[in-house]
Chains A and B, each alone.
Chain A
Amino acid sequence: MKRTIVPFGPQHPVLPEPIHLDLVLEDEKVVEAIPSFGFIHRGMEDLASKRDFNDYLYVVERICGICSYMHGMSYCEGAERIFGVEIPDRAKYLRTIWCELSRLHSHLLWLGLLADAFGFEALFMQSWRIREKILDMVEDSTGGRLISSVNLIGGVARDMDREMLAGFVAQFDKMESELRSLTKVFLKDSTVRARLFEVGALTKTDAILYGAVGPMMRASGIELDTRKLGYAAYGDIDFDIITSSGCDSLARCEVRIGEIFQSFRIIRQAVDKIPDGEIYIPVKGNPKGEATVRVEQPRGEALYYMKANGTRNLERFRVRTPTFSNIYSLLKILPGAQFADVPLLILTIDPCISCTER
């Protein structure tokens, strides 16, 4: 049968970030996908050895716009582990609240883009309308909508007082009820279901071998969530790990929607339990040592490895972002899919190519 090669990307309306795939098609079915990355490689890991480790924090935050908060937080966490410093409890709770706000905004962004991928633009708009309220909350508390610049090595720079936190939680009830109606569209509407059900299946054994992380892994039935390691204040907060046994795009949608409601639950608990106290302790001197930090980004487990040798610059800073792990799964679920489903499949892994290529 005759094969056609269709280039997909790097510029494409449905892609949040540039990635190029050469799709080899037989009729309308994808047979092979040949990737080409490197469009947004900025050499950020190499920059770590050239910048003062305090200033490099602001570079790490800007590795990606969507996952920005947790990059900055994990960098600070790694540096704090190297220094052997324990940050105040209030700072831990504040970091947890901002992490969950970041997860909320990221999942709502993903819901919108997924809807856009199968052409349901009105649903895209409604998802992002709710997301705007989250971004307003982040701007009110930190000063920036996406890039918050609020983490420091030794704590956080801004405080959220009781009034502000109560104001946020007061908006949650309305948002949750709106979201329940909205997510019902995603999960129950027959046209949406027809696009998502049994598309892009990844079995449990394949998920482990191909290195899937995050909702990709949890939608295939593996119950692992890095938040259970207990960094920041997660050790004191009660939440469920959402898994599904569906293994397809609909299951991933279910998992992410479940995580949205868990995030509301976590923020409510954190606001109740947050202790009073300091938010920042100054840390002096140069770091020496190494640390490995794992956090649960909205897209999955991210690993940060930092090595310092006693000078002002870090010797090595390595970020293994979740999409880097998930890309291989993408290349394995594309063969056999319909050509019209390709944007959907790319979005089902929640691609964050800026993170992947740093």
Chain B
Amino acid sequence: MAGIFKFTKFALKNLFTKPATRAYPAVPARQAPRTRGAVQVKIDDCIFCGLCNRRCPADAISVDRAAKSWTIKRMSCVQCGNCVLNCPKKCLTMEGAYSAPDIEKRNELFRKAEAPIPAVHTLAPAPADGKAIAPDRVLVIDMTSCVLCGLCARRCPTGALNVDRAAGTWTVDRTACLQCGNCVNGCPKKSLALVPEKDHPTVETYTKNAAPQVESVQAPAAPITAQPAGTEGITVDLSTCILCGLCVRRCPTSAIAVDRKAGTWAINRQSCVVCGNCLDVCHKHSLSKTTEGIDTSGVQVYTKTAEPKAEPAPAPTAPEPSASTETTAPDTPVGNGIAINMDTCVLCGLCAKKCPTAAIAVDRAAKTWSIKREDCVLCGNCIAACPKKSLSEDEIPLLETYTK
């Protein structure tokens, strides 16, 4: 039913109530405890990881790791809070107040003060002797055992170490060193140690005893280091070597090269620092250190079923084919290979996962197990991995696919 003067009650009440509006900015804006205002940063806790930069949907934040600065474009920020949510150090907060209005678009830059890194930072677990890392320790090196392989420099999280093989020096930046012990744990020669400060001067550069440089015929990949004659070097026993290439992957100076088709194992003596990583990883125990037959002038190539010979060639080539045990029959050749018993095989795929050359493929849906014979190096990893003991090494017709 229509009526008149329905609004009168409100109009009269309005005469006597205070305004619903707020005279902002003369009166401060209403703030709740959870109000999302301007983004603030605790710059001392910031590690400049840049996650806030990547997560900002408006691209308002930029982080400069080298300059240790964090910048925000106040006019681009939409106060969504994504940066606050994602900061791993929780150093970002949203204060209640909005950023003050301004007449120009400005960026706000926060920079970390250039203070020395406090010694309480520890990153790696304690060294093998079980004692905790104490901040009053310094890093020292025994240059007589150091082989300048550079593994310590690679493991250092702050880049405090520098190894110069050409100059024979090992340098530590004491202000950047966190005494974390990563390098100590990683040194294959056990040349590094963290010792009480009072026992050692804070020298920064250590030099190995100088030795005459050997001129090489070709330019090797890595800087050369002198290896006088009669030096220890790595050698391989090709009767047991299966040319799997694990030593290649582990060599920190990329001194080793393996050519499975040609049957050769080659080492660049100029690059090899005899760190022994390859020895540790070879599970056929084919590698060893010896002082005999080591020619340090360049690359030494060992060929399977042939005499080891030294070549000045830069990369290992195949001068003669290795003796093959495969027949050249057009039908399935018979030879030494991985055999599978498909009755016990459950197609779990563990053999495929363990194969270092990815020669095995397991198709569960099609119930097939297949192997690329030319890639298989007979390392035996699959045999060891099979939970059903379905695999073995045998003289068999070398089929490539087996179906259940």
Contacts and interface: CB of A to CB of B under 8 A. Distances in A.
A184 B6 contact: yes
Interface in B54-108: 54-57, 78-82, 85, 94
Contacts of A147: 78, 80
Contacts of A54: 55, 82
Interface in A36-51: 51
B4 A149 contact: no
A189 B80 contact: no
Contacts of B16: none
Contacts of A136: 30, 32
Interface string A139-151: 1111110010100
A12 interface: no
Given A140-B34, A144-B36, A58 B10 contact: no
A129 B354 CA distance: 71
A171 interface: no
Interface string A47-85: 000011011101101100000000000000000000000
Nearest to A148: B36
Interface of B: 1-4, 6-7, 9-11, 14, 20, 30, 32-36, 54-57, 78-82, 85, 94
7 A-B pairs with least C-beta separation: A190-B2, A143-B36, A58-B80, A189-B6, A143-B34, A129-B20, A140-B32
B4 A139 contact: no
A209 interface: no
Nearest to B5: A189
Given A58-B80, A58-B82, A149 B36 contact: yes
A185 interface: yes
Nearest to A137: B32
A125 interface: yes
B78 A188 contact: no
A141 B34 contact: yes
Contacts of B35: 139, 143-144
B7 A125 contact: no
A122 interface: yes
Which range contains the number of A residues in contact with the other chain?
Answer: 35 or more
A123 interface: yes
B81 A149 contact: yes
Contacts of B11: 122
A58 B57 contact: yes
Contacts of A125: 20
A140 B33 CA distance: 7
Nearest to B3: A188
A122 B34 contact: no
Nearest to A185: B6
Nearest to A59: B57
A158 interface: yes
Contacts of A157: 81, 85
A189 B2 contact: yes
B26 to A, nearest CB: 19
Given A56-B57, A188-B3, A181 B9 contact: yes
B75 to A, nearest CB: 15
Contacts of B80: 58, 61, 147, 149
Contacts of A126: 10, 14
A296 to B, nearest CB: 25
With most chain B CB atoms within 10 A of its CB, the pick from A58, A120, A193 is A58
A132 interface: yes
A44 B249 CA distance: 47
Given A123-B7, A157-B85, A55 B32 contact: no
Interface string A108-134: 000000000000101101101100100
A142 B34 contact: yes
Given A55-B55, A143-B32, A189-B3, 17 more contacts: A51-B57, A58-B78, A122-B10, A122-B11, A123-B7, A126-B14, A139-B32, A140-B32, A143-B34, A144-B79, A147-B78, A149-B36, A181-B10, A182-B10, A184-B6, A188-B6, A189-B2
B94 to A, nearest CB: 8
A62 B57 CA distance: 11
Interface in A159-188: 181-182, 184-185, 188
Nearest to A135: B30
Contacts of A182: 10
A193 B2 CA distance: 7
A132 B18 CA distance: 14
A190 B3 contact: yes
A190 B5 CA distance: 9
A345 B33 CA distance: 41
Contacts of B6: 184-185, 188-189
Contacts of B82: 54-55, 58
B10 A185 contact: yes
B30 A139 contact: yes
Contacts of A191: 4
A51 B20 CA distance: 41
Contacts of A188: 1-3, 6
25 contacts: A51-B57, A54-B55, A61-B80, A122-B7, A122-B10, A123-B7, A123-B10, A126-B10, A132-B20, A139-B30, A141-B34, A143-B35, A143-B94, A144-B35, A144-B79, A149-B36, A149-B79, A149-B81, A188-B3, A189-B3, A189-B4, A190-B3, A190-B4, A191-B4, A193-B2
Contacts of A152: 85
A291 B35 CA distance: 33
Nearest to A61: B80
A158 B7 contact: no
Contacts of B79: 144, 149
A160 B55 CA distance: 26
A142 B54 CA distance: 24
Contacts of B56: 55
Interface string A291-331: 00000000000000000000000000000000000000000
Nearest to A138: B32
Contacts of B94: 143
Contacts of A181: 9-10
Nearest to B55: A55
A147 B58 CA distance: 15
Contacts of B9: 181
Contacts of B20: 125, 128-129, 132
A191 B34 CA distance: 43
A172 B204 CA distance: 73
B22 to A, nearest CB: 10
Nearest to B35: A143
With most chain A CB atoms within 10 A of its CB, the pick from B4, B30, B32, B54 is B32
